[in-house]
Structure 1
Amino acid sequence: MLQKLITFFERYSFGVCTYLGERFNVSISKIRLFFIYSSFLAVGFPLIFYFFAGIVLDIRNYVKRGRAGIADR
């Protein structure tokens, strides 16, 4: 059960930490640790931010792909 959950999150993660790491030139592992530790301290608020940012990034990538398809026509 735990292995299925880990595989799911590894396969379908949003890439928020990667995006923030590349954007601010910070190690991705430090950002992940920040989200983990702050989630314990702030009672889950960073997880809400993470999922919201993931949805925004996903929509942004979807719009970019749609524009590229229109430009190719």
Structure 2
Amino acid sequence: MRNVIKIKYFFEKYGFHVSSRLADKLGMRVTSVRLFFIYISFVTAGLWFGVYLTIAFWLKLKDLIRAKRSSVFDL
């Protein structure tokens, strides 16, 4: 348990301070940088979900157009 707490403090000290340092470098507010990271994470996750839905739609459309017929009488 002690190692988990050390890892937690390490990431709090060095990892979560990234947005503050980036905001200082760019001359922006920290909240704006954090909101940008939140929005861009939703956009990238939503983008791949949209690609997945588009491919699923194409595959379903392909199956509807090229229906498998078992005999000549199914025409």
TM range (shorter): 0.3 to 0.5
- Structure ranking higher on relative contact order (CA contacts 8 Å, 6+ apart): 1
Superposition TM-score, scaled by structure 2 size = 0.41
Q: Greater Rg, structure 1 or structure 2? A: 2
